[in-house]
Amino acid sequence: MSNPFSVRWLTGWTFQTVLMEGQIQVEAHGFGICLRSPLRQGESPVTAADRLVFAEDQRRRALHKAWLRGERLNELPEPQSLAEAVPEPAGEPVPPLASLSLIKVAA
């Protein structure tokens, strides 16, 4: 394996194995950011690279979805003022909760 290396299915990313802080780490460069993660026991550098980019992709997708939800909240119509509100028709009065029993006794 050469250093730096690339993974076929992760276009736009280059990876490098580095010895840092007494550990072997995989460093990923791509799309203007640099990510680093320690190599786990029994894990190959390619698997670590895939795990590292997958975690970043999940984080970015979650942030994008949260941003879209926020945009949709901004597009909601303004609530009506109370002066324009239509009163609800009067129905049966609701009995107080103290008089209601949740236990049914068979007769």
Query: Between 42 and 87, where is the model more confident?
Result: 42
Whether the model clears a pTM of 0.75, i.e. scores above it, the answer is no
Give the separation between CA 13 and CA 53, rounded to whole angstroms.
9
Question: 7 and 16 in contact (C-beta within 8 Å)?
Answer: no
pLDDT of residue 25: 92
Which of 3, 7, 2 lies closest to 50, judged by CA? 7
Q: What is the DSSP string of 1-41?
A: --SSB--TTSTT-EEEEEEETTEEEEEEEETTEEEEEEPPT
Question: 26 and 16 in contact (C-beta within 8 Å)?
Answer: yes
Q: What is the pLDDT of residues 20-74, one digit of tens each?
A: 888 899 999 888 889 999 999 999 988 999 899 899 889 999 999 999 988 887 7
Give the separation between CA 49 and CA 86, rounded to whole angstroms.
60
